[in-house]
Structure formats: C-alpha cells, structure tokens
Structure 1
Amino acid sequence: LGAAETLRGPQAQADANAYRTWHKTDPFGAPPGKYLVDASGLAVWLVDPGINGAFKTRADGTEVRKFDAPKATLMSYIIKGMLDRKLPWGLVLFGVMIAFVLELCGVSSLAFAVGAYLPISSSAPIFVGGLVRWLLDRRLRRSARARQLDEARLAAESDQSPGVLLASGYIAGGAIAGIVIAFVAGVLGRLDARITKWAEASNPFFGGPHADWLALIPFAALAGFLYLTGRRARRLPLP
C-alpha cells in the first residue's frame, strides 16, 4: 500500500478520514485504478481521474465534469501493453497491413489512422479544416495554371499560405483554452459552478435543444475567417 491520503473535493466535507492508496492493476472483481483503503484493508473509495475518467456521477448523485484525451488513451494502451507484455500484436500487425494497403492506394495512412481512433467530436472539426484547405488549394491551383507554376512551386506557395499559420494558431489556442477550462473546473470549482449557474439562467443557448448553436456559430465564423485568410496566399517570386 502507498502513502496515506485524504479525500479532496466536495466529498471531503463528509469524510475526513485518512486512507492508504492501493493501485489495482488486474480487471478482476473491480475496475483497475487507484483506490483508497481503510485500516482493515477494505477499498472504500475509487479515485477516478478527471481526464479520461469513467464515472461522471459521484456517490452522492452529484455530477462531475470529466475531460477526454483520446490520444493519451491510445498511447497508454500501447505503453501498458509493452510493459505488461500483453500487447495485442495481432491487431498491431493488422493495422500495419491496412496502412500498407492504404499507401499502395495513394491514401495517407496517417490521416486515416487519426480519423479512425479519434471520436467524431474531434474528427469533425478536422474534417472541416481539411475541407477549407481543399477549397483553398483548388482555388490556388486554378491561379497557378494561369501563372504557369509547376507542382513544386504550387506546393511551396500552398504551405506558406497565411491560412496555414492561422490554422496552427487555432491548434495552439485550442490547447491553451482546454488547459484553462480544465484548471477552472478542477481547481476553481466554485467559480466554475457560479459561471455555470449564471449561464443556465442568462444564456438561452447554454442548455436545451438549441445548445449546440452556441458552439456552432463561432465555429462557423472561425472557419469562414480561415478561408478568407487563406485566400490571401503568399505569392512566391517567379524565377
């Protein structure tokens, strides 16, 4: 057993006892994870992580926000499989063969793999970004034919487009925003609860059947701004 710990969060108000930590690795009897064990050796609490946690409801019935990290989950499966020597090599080799066939067909195996393991909530924005890039490249290709550019210069001009820089900023901004949201929800729980309560009372788009419009409207604006920015392609000087 590990060091002694106490509960943290809202449940700590009802239980101030100190428990020893126990990391369960096998899936038999109970899900693997970190448990808090009392003096008699009985597992009393399951410490469900805030990222990739399995339970969204506490023992008292209150809801708790969980965050998903599909890429980290995939890497954890690979690392655990290698350390425990239980990596499903059959599935790994099957994926290798699929990637080999895709490359022979002229399809990017990396893009296919990313779309395969990411949930639809993450792959849909990526698809929209790829659609914007396709529209911009199509427009740039028509302009390149008029300017008599070869494929190498066309690819260079496309990669140096302001839209590529803006898309990179979108990725960095999304990562920073995710960290800020997780920090507010995990550390500043009371502030997060007040913001949620205010939004439920003041914002008609926060909940209900029209809640998705709250995210769809700014997302469409960002996609449109990305397209307009990408149209101002940087033109390389002709030789």
Structure 2
Amino acid sequence: MVCIAAANAGATSQDLKTGYLVGATPKYQQIGLLIGVVVAAAVIGFTVQVLDKPTVDAATGLVRHQIGTEAFPAPQGTLMATLIRGLLSQNLDWQFVLVGVFLAVTIELCGVSPLSFAVGAYLPLSTTLPIFVGGAIKGIVDRRSGARASGGHGDDVGAGSLFATGLVAGGTLTGTVVAFLHWSEKVGNAVDSLSLHAILTRGLGEGGYEVLGVVCFAVMGLLLYQIARRPLKL
C-alpha cells in the first residue's frame, strides 16, 4: 500500500508537465490516474504474492521475506519499510532523521537538490553510477547543442530521452519477467542455464569478464550519445 501511494504521489507531481508535453487535459489525466491506481493495486499485489515466499527462521521465529534480500533486492522498499516499522513500533532513531533534515536544509542552502543527494545516499553505487553517466551524457549533448548557452534545459522529448526511457522500461520489464520465470524452480534453472557467465568467465577470466561488461556499457553510452544528438522526427 505504501509503495502504491508513493508511486501515485510521484506520478501526480509529474503528470501535469508530461500531460502538457503530449497535449493531454487535466480531466483525462485524472481519469488515467484512476485507472493507474486500480491497475497498480492489482499488478503489484499479484507480483508480491507470487515472488515473495516468506520463510520462518527456526532460531528466532521471525518471518523472512524474499523481497528485499539478495534474490530480489529492493533498496527503496527496504528504506520505506524501515521507516514504517520504526514509526509503528515507536522505536525509530529520530536522531538520524533529524540529522538528515538538517543536512537537507544545508544542501538546499548550497544550491544543490537535497532529493538528488538523498537518492544518491541510500541507493548503491551500482545504481547511482549509471544515473550519473546518463546525466553526464545529457549534459554533453546539451552543451554541444547550445541549450545551456541559450538558458534552456535541453529537449525534454528528444530522441535521447525517448531512448533512455525505453532502456528504463525494458530493464524493468526484463527483470520482472526473469523474476517470474524463477517462480518455478525448473523453469528458473532452465533460464539460468542460458546464462553465458560461466563460459565467458572461463574464457576471459574474472577480470576479463568485468572488463567486457564495462566495454558493453561504454558502447551503450556511446549509442545513447549518438541517438541524443539526432533531431526527433515527428
């Protein structure tokens, strides 16, 4: 429920600009938001029911859930769960919360977005580094196109933004599909057998395999840069 509420709060804060860009009216945006609430409640509830297989720890008697572990990591969900659990049990470490509040005020006075700083603080480096690289590519494209010189913010609906949106959506859908396939142990083992990790590691070594990943990421970044420089044809 908290996840759905947070998602809808974020959608409400952004849908007006998005609707303006695509020519939508507030009436139809609200209708779409209502549809999104119903669909999200059904889909997220079904996903949690399928993927989360709780087990009871024999030593402590506590229930351990799959979501939030190494199998299905969820840093943002874990953070929200920690806050809610602390509020309900009335043992939340308020000193850390207050430190975060004053840090946010200080960062805001320095002219830096506290939300961006907070996201970078609790998300792992493996998540924030690609975000930084994507932002750097957009900054380079904007600088070369003269968007900053003219005081603009670049093309919000350019080819690069659409390509990056597709990457985000594709990665999310692929991760969800793979997680669903691991619902069945036999199907999950069959999917794991298709992985080239073992073959590439034996052929290239552990270090070579990591270098190959960096090269593939660099190629994708170069592709994003090339696409972002193209004018969008409507």
Shorter-chain TM-score: which interval? 0.5 to 0.7
* Structure 1 residue 119: Cα displacement: 0.8
User: The residue matched to 1:159 in structure 2 has which SS?
Assistant: coil
Query: Where do 1:86-97 residues align within 5 Å?
Result: 86-97=91-102
Query: Where do 1:66-105 residues align within 5 Å?
Result: 66-105=71-110
* Structure 1 residue 34: Cα displacement: 4.6
Distance 2:136 2:208 in 1: 25
Q: Tell me if structure 2 keeps the 8 A contact 1:205–1:212.
A: no
Query: Quick one: structure 1 residues 205 and 49, their matched pair in 2 at CA, closer, same or farther if it must change by over 3 Å?
Result: farther
User: The residue matched to 1:172 in structure 2 has which SS?
Assistant: helix
* Structure 1 residue 140: Cα displacement: 2.3
Give 2:189's aligned amino acid. R
Q: Which has the higher helix share?
A: 2
Q: 2:230 aligns with which of 229, 232, 235?
A: 232
The answer for unaligned runs of 5 or more in structure 2 is 1-53
User: Is 2:174 the partner of 1:177?
Assistant: yes
Instruction: Provide, for residues 177-213 of structure 1, a one-character-per-residue CA deviation record: whole Å limited to 9, x for no partner.
Output: 21123223343232134334x6524764686222213
Q: CA RMSD in A?
A: 3.0
Distance 2:134 2:203 in 1: 25
Q: Which protein has greater RCO, CA pairs closer than 8 Å, 6+ apart?
A: 2
* Structure 1 residue 68: Cα displacement: 1.7
Distance 2:194 2:204 in 1: 11
Q: Tell me if structure 1 keeps the 8 A contact 2:160–2:224.
A: yes
Distance 2:217 2:76 in 1: 22
Q: TM-score, normalised by structure 2?
A: 0.64
Distance 2:204 2:188 in 1: 19
User: Is 2:227 the partner of 1:222?
Assistant: no
User: The residue matched to 1:52 in structure 2 has which SS?
Assistant: coil
Q: Tell me if structure 1 keeps the 8 A contact 2:104–2:114.
A: yes
Q: 1:52 aligns with which of 68, 91, 104?
A: 68
User: The residue matched to 2:56 in structure 1 has which SS?
Assistant: strand
Query: Quick one: structure 1 residues 208 and 222, their matched pair in 2 at CA, closer, same or farther if it must change by over 3 Å?
Result: same
Q: Tell me if structure 1 keeps the 8 A contact 2:159–2:230.
A: yes
* Structure 1 residue 45: Cα displacement: 8.6
User: The residue matched to 1:106 in structure 2 has which SS?
Assistant: coil
Distance 2:86 2:60 in 1: 28
Distance 1:137 1:76 in 2: 38
User: The residue matched to 2:208 in structure 1 has which SS?
Assistant: coil
Give 1:180's aligned amino acid. V
* Structure 1 residue 107: Cα displacement: 0.6
Distance 2:101 2:136 in 1: 27
* Structure 1 residue 84: Cα displacement: 1.4
Query: Quick one: structure 1 residues 88 and 192, their matched pair in 2 at CA, closer, same or farther if it must change by over 3 Å?
Result: same
User: Is 2:115 the partner of 1:110?
Assistant: yes
* Structure 1 residue 160: Cα displacement: 2.7
Give 2:77's aligned amino acid. A
Query: Quick one: structure 1 residues 109 and 190, their matched pair in 2 at CA, closer, same or farther if it must change by over 3 Å?
Result: same
Q: TM-score, normalised by structure 1?
A: 0.63
The structure that has the greater radius of gyration is 1
Q: Tell me if structure 2 keeps the 8 A contact 1:205–1:213.
A: no
- State the number of aligned residues: 178
Aligned to 1:3: none
Q: Which moved more, 1:111-120 or 1:205-214?
A: 205-214
